[in-house]
Structure formats: structure tokens, C-alpha cells
């Protein structure tokens, strides 16, 4: 029995030694490869070290004969010794170069971060932490740090699920996580929690994007945050009262008008949210039957466009406009509080029926609007899952949430990130469903519309 236990222990021990040896071999190989990458792309200036080394190596090679001084007389008859010394020096210098490149491929404190990852419980099935291959400042934004890890036989989804453990180990906020093209590295972009977004950023006309229907929202730590309606057709905006949704919604709608879209706004608060200037630029809608008529005409338009695009063999509005030399406008339907419209609690049967029809039109636009240039930008602060039907929500790819409680954050983003990451007193601070936090531009519609210098729309 004891003998069996002893031999089992031996097998385990051997297995562990073999695994450790393989791990070290892999680490040495990865360090060398990373060193070469650092020299060729990331940190070209480190070639200075290689240049100095090569100079010293050339000097050592030139004077290698001196190594034999003193031995000359005794071994002068042995030319083989000279050849051996040549080989040894060459080997030594080559090894030195390999070590230098591997050292360049080893980030400072790599071991410290790996130990922290072990303590945070982020290891693979063999309890090994990922190897930190490179750590450097983002070339365009020094506030950001890029970390490159080997994928460590761990899929990107597991990295994403363990984001909090990793964040704790790196003591940085993770902004972005992706896999390298060859799939062998996981690349994280992080920012120090000390780097702060400013609490107030004012909108300036020069921020208006030159790219068609690219709407500007604000600034994140990695730059200007935008969404292109040609690629991501609908937007869902959430946040508790006073979080800054209405101002952000107006900022987006102002840009849509500016870019020549037809904008329709459902405002069931009696026109108080949108001043008279908006009424001139956009088609307003103040009650349910008016809204049903409007949405019916929009879905009819969608069907008309569908038939026309099919006939012209065009896949989307941009292709159609180019191919037929027409100028079909993009259409935006916006609503500041969708729950005001879709909440059926306590309503009569007829009104419930009316709301169901409104909802079904919104679903059609959410599902099919993309290609035909008909978009939804809707906002809500009401944390109730049954108000926004799954059909509408699941077809809205771009979702942003300001400060919110867990329930609202979950409804908008499918996670509690807004509740956790947006401070309770923040205004105009939002997080996207991809986890990016940004400060929206503060936009004063009174100023914009009253200024004669700027004519919104046509
Ligand atoms: N981007 C911003 N930067 C700084 N402050 C902002 C920003 N957006 C809004 N605020 C401030 O927050 C206040 C509330 O904004 P807003 O009316 O848009 O909130 P809301 O979420 O729509 O609230 P409600 O749903 O109650 O209307 C504004 O009066 C403004 O002072």
C-alpha cells in the first residue's frame, strides 16, 4: 500500500516537473518572440540596446585572440584550441543576443502581476497564470495602458467573465479586451482609476462629424464616443431622473436634423421637453392616436422602400441613393420616455389594443429599419422589464445607460455595470453596453436654436 502511494507520488512529481519544464520552455519562446516584436513594432527605441550589444560583441570577437594569451606557448601546436575558442566565443555572443532580446520581451514586474493573478484566482486548468508578454502606454493616448498576455488555454469569454478578478490584480480599470488576430494573445486596454473624465464638457459645433450619420455623444478616456446609424441603426438610452438622458437625446437629434434626416418626436409631456424651435424642425406627436397614425405611415414607408430597393436590387439606403441618384432621407423616430407610451397598466381594453398596435409598429421598425434608413432613438428611466418588449430591445444594438439602479441597468445593458460604475451624483456620465464609460457633451438647445448663425436642418 505504502509502496503504491510512494509510486503515485513519484508519478505526480514527475508530471509536475514535466509540466513546469514545458511551461518554462514555452515562456522562454514567448519572451523571445515578444522581444522581437517589441524591437520591430512596439518599442523600436530599444534597438539601441541591441546596437550597443552588437558593438561590444564585435569588439569581443575582434579581440578573442587575447583569450589565448599566456596559453600560446603551451598550446601553440594545437590549432584546434583556436577553433574551439572561436566557436565558444561565437556561441557565447549568440546566447547573449538571445538573452538580451528575451529580456527586452519581459515587462517590468511581470512576475508580480502574474502572482497577483494567481491570488485573484485567474489561472487555467493547470493552475498557471497567463504570462504577461508586454505592457506599454497606448501610442495615441498615454492615459491608457496596453497589456498583452498569452491566451493561456483560456477563451476570451472566460477572460471577460473574470474581468473583475483581473481588474483587481492589475489595479486598473479594464476598458477593452480583445484577442490578437492569430488568437494567441489577449490584449487588454486599461486606465488607472486615478484618470478621471471631466465632469462637464460643452458641445461645440466643430465636433459635428463629417461622416454621414455618425453621431457624436461625448468623450471617453480613449477618445470621442460616436455611433454611426448606417452601421448601428437604433439607440436605447436609459438612466434615472436627472442623469442627463434628455440632453443627450436632444444632442443626437440635433445632429440628425443637421445631417438632413426627417425627425419625428413623440413627446407625451405636453410639449414641455421640446421647445417651440424643435417643433419647427421636427414633426412632433403629442397623443396616442396621432402616434399610431405616424408609426403606421412610417411602417408603410418602410414597405414602400423595401419594394423600391428590391426593384433596384439595392441592399440599403446608401446603395439605393447612389444607384438611382435620388435622395431618400433617413427617418428618425425618437421618444424621451418610451414607458409613457407603452405602459398598459390600468388601461381600458381599447387603449391596450391601441398600445399593442403602436408596439407592433415599433417592433417592425426595430427589426427591419436598418437597411431602409428608419431608426429608433428611445429613452427610458422606468425600471420595468415588461414595458419594452423583447422584440424591440433585442433589436437595439447600441444601448447606453446613465446613473441607474441595478434593475434599470440590467434592463438597458443586461448587466448591473451602470449601477456599479456611474457615480450616484453624475450628470451626463454614461456607460455603453460594451462597457465604455463616457461623458456626454452638455448641449443647450436654446442657445443653438436661438443663434441666428446656425440654421438647423433645411
Ligand atoms: N452632459 C452633461 N454634462 C453636465 N451636466 C449635465 C449633462 N447633461 C445633463 N446635465 C445636467 O443634468 C440635468 C438633468 O439633465 P436631463 O434633463 O437631461 O436629465 P434626464 O435624465 O432627462 O432627467 P428627467 O428624466 O427627469 O428629465 C441638466 O439640467 C443639467 O444640469
The CATH number for 345's domain is: 3.40.50.300
| C-alpha count within 13 angstroms, C-beta hemisphere, residue 88 | 10
Q: Would you say the CB of residue 380 lies under 6 angstroms from ligand 1?
A: no
Does the annotation place 373 within a ligand binding site?
no
CA of 422 to the centre of ligand 1 (A): 14
- The DSSP result for 358-427, as a single string, is HHHHHHHHHHHHHHHTEEEEEEE----TTTS-HHHHHT--EEEE-S--HHHHHHHHSSSHHHHHS-TT-S
Residue indicated by cell numbers 389594443: 353
For residue 201, the surrounding DSSP H or E stretch is: none
Whether residue 252 is found in the same domain as residue 320: yes
| Residue 7: predicted pLDDT | 62
Residue indicated by cell numbers 488607472: 192
Residue 454 located in a structural domain: no
Whether residue 115 is found in the same domain as residue 98: no
Q: Which of 83, 104, 125 is the last residue of a domain?
A: 104
Cβ atoms 302, 374 nearer than 8 A: yes
The answer to ipTM > 0.95 is: yes
Q: In what order do the strands lie in the sheet with 223-228?
A: 223-228, 214-220, 437-440, 429-432, 398-401, 235-238, 374-380, 331-335, 262-266, 283-285
Whether residue 253 is found in the same domain as residue 304: yes
pTM of the predicted model as reported, rounded to 2 decimal places: 0.71
Q: Would you say the CB of residue 399 lies under 6 angstroms from ligand 1?
A: no
Does the annotation place 243 within a ligand binding site?
yes
- The DSSP result for 36-54, as a single string, is HHIIIII-GGGHHHHHHHH
Does the annotation place 238 within a ligand binding site?
no
pLDDT tens figures, 350-399: 889 999 999 999 999 999 999 999 999 999 988 676 778 888 888 999 99
Whether residue 27 is found in the same domain as residue 118: no
Whether residue 125 is found in the same domain as residue 254: no
Q: Which atom of ligand 1 is nearest to the CA of 443?
A: 1
Q: Would you say the CB of residue 244 lies under 6 angstroms from ligand 1?
A: yes
Crossing angle for the helix pair 79-104 and 2-37, to the nearest 10 degrees: 80
Residue 10, C-beta contacts closer than 8 angstroms, at least 6 positions apart: none
| Residue 2: predicted pLDDT | 53
Whether residue 298 is found in the same domain as residue 158: no
For residues 412 and 409, what is the distance between their CA atoms, to the nearest angstrom?
5
Q: Which atom of ligand 1 is nearest to the CA of 243?
A: 21
Does the annotation place 242 within a ligand binding site?
yes
For residues 69 and 368, what is the distance between their CA atoms, to the nearest angstrom?
86
The residues of the chain scoring below 70 in pLDDT are: 1-11, 67-78, 193-194, 269-271, 383, 385, 447-458
For residues 251 and 255, what is the distance between their CA atoms, to the nearest angstrom?
6
Could you report how far apart the first and last alpha carbons of the chain are, in Å? 91
Q: Which of 104, 138, 154 is the last residue of a domain?
A: 104
- The DSSP result for 253-322, as a single string, is HHHHHHTT-EEEEE-TTTTSSS-HHHHHHSEEE-SHHHHHHHHHHHHHHHHHHHHHHHHHT-SSHHHHHH
| Residue 452: predicted pLDDT | 44
Q: Which atom of ligand 1 is nearest to the CA of 218?
A: 1
Whether residue 176 is found in the same domain as residue 224: no
Whether residue 218 is found in the same domain as residue 178: no
3-class secondary-structure state, position 181: coil
Q: Would you say the CB of residue 241 lies under 6 angstroms from ligand 1?
A: yes
Whether residue 226 is found in the same domain as residue 369: yes
Q: Give the structural domain span for 85.
A: 2-104
CA of 248 to the centre of ligand 1 (A): 8
Whether residue 82 is found in the same domain as residue 167: no
CA of 427 to the centre of ligand 1 (A): 6
Whether residue 355 is found in the same domain as residue 389: yes
- DSSP type of residue 66: G
Residue 93 located in a structural domain: yes
**Helical ranges in 38-137 per DSSP H:** 47-62, 72-75, 79-104, 110-119
Residue 198 located in a structural domain: no
Residue 197 located in a structural domain: no
| Residue 164: predicted pLDDT | 83
Does the annotation place 435 within a ligand binding site?
no
Does the annotation place 239 within a ligand binding site?
yes
Q: Give the residue whose CA is nearest to atom 16 of ligand 1.
A: 244
Whether residue 218 is found in the same domain as residue 134: no
Q: Which of 43, 69, 104 is the last residue of a domain?
A: 104
Based on the structure, what is the number of domains in the chain? 3
pLDDT tens figures, 213-248: 999 999 988 789 999 999 999 999 999 999 999 999
Torsion of CA 139, 141, 145, 146, to 10 degrees: -40
For residues 71 and 137, what is the distance between their CA atoms, to the nearest angstrom?
52
Q: Would you say the CB of residue 428 lies under 6 angstroms from ligand 1?
A: yes
| Residue 172: predicted pLDDT | 80
pLDDT tens figures, 288-308: 999 999 999 999 999 999 999
Amino acid at each position: 500500500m505504502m509502496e503504491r502511494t510512494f509510486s503515485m507520488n513519484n508519478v505526480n512529481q514527475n508530471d509536475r516537473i514535466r509540466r513546469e519544464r514545458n511551461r518554462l520552455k514555452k515562456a522562454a519562446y514567448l519572451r523571445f518572440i515578444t522581444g522581437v516584436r517589441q524591437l520591430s513594432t512596439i518599442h523600436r527605441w530599444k534597438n539601441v540596446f541591441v546596437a550597443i550589444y552588437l558593438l561590444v560583441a564585435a569588439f569581443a570577437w575582434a579581440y578573442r585572440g587575447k583569450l589565448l594569451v599566456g596559453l600560446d606557448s603551451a598550446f601553440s601546436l594545437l590549432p584546434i584550441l583556436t577553433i574551439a575558442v572561436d566557436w565558444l566565443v561565437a556561441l557565447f555572443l549568440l546566447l547573449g543576443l538571445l538573452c538580451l532580446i528575451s529580456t527586452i520581451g519581459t515587462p517590468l514586474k511581470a512576475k508580480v502581476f502574474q502572482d497577483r493573478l494567481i491570488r485573484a484566482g485567474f489561472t487555467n486548468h493547470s493552475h498557471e497564470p497567463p504570462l504577461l508578454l508586454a505592457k506599454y502606454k497606448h501610442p495615441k493616448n498615454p492615459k491608457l495602458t496596453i497589456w498583452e498576455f498569452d491566451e493561456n488555454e483560456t477563451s476570451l469569454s472566460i477572460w471577460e467573465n473574470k474581468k473583475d478578478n483581473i481588474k483587481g490584480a492589475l489595479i486598473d480599470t479594464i476598458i477593452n479586451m480583445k484577442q490578437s488576430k492569430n488568437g494567441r494573445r489577449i490584449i487588454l486596454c486599461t486606465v488607472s482609476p486615478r484618470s478621471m473624465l471631466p465632469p462637464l464638457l460643452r458641445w461645440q459645433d466643430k465636433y459635428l462629424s463629417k461622416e454621414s450619420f455618425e453621431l457624436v455623444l461625448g468623450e471617453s478616456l480613449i477618445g470621442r464616443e460616436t455611433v454611426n446609424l448606417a452601421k448601428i441603426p437604433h439607440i436605447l438610452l436609459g438612466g434615472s431622473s436627472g442623469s442627463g438622458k434628455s440632453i443627450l437625446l436632444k444632442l443626437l437629434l440635433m445632429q440628425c436634423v443637421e445631417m438632413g434626416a426627417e425627425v419625428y418626436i413623440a413627446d407625451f409631456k405636453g410639449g414641455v421637453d421640446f421647445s417651440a424651435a424643435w417643433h419647427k424642425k421636427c414633426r412632433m406627436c403629442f397623443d396616442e392616436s396621432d402616434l399610431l397614425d405616424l408609426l403606421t405611415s412610417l411602417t408603410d414607408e418602410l414597405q414602400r422602400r423595401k419594394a423600391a430597393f428590391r426593384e433596384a436590387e439595392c441592399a440599403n439606403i446608401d446603395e439605393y441613393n447612389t444607384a438611382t441618384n435620388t435622395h431618400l432621407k433617413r427617418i428618425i423616430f425618437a421618444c424621451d420616455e418610451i414607458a409613457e407610451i407603452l405602459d398598459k397598466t390600468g388601461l381600458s381594453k381599447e387603449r391596450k389594443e391601441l398600445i399593442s398596435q403602436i408596439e407592433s409598429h415599433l417592433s417592425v421598425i426595430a427589426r427591419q429599419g436598418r437597411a431602409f434608413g428608419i431608426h429608433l432613438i428611445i429613452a427610458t428611466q422606468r425600471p420595468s422589464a415588461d414595458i419594452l418588449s423583447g422584440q424591440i430591445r433585442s433589436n437595439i444594438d447600441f444601448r447606453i445607460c446613465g446613473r441607474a439602479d441595478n434593475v434599470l441597468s440590467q434592463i438597458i445593458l443586461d448587466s448591473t455595470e451602470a449601477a456599479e460604475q456611474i457615480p450616484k451624483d453624475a450628470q451626463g456620465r454614461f456607460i455603453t453596453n460594451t462597457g465604455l464609460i463616457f461623458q456626454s457633451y452638455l448641449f443647450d438647445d436654446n442657445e443653438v436654436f436661438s443663434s441666428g448663425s446656425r440654421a438647423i436642418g433645411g
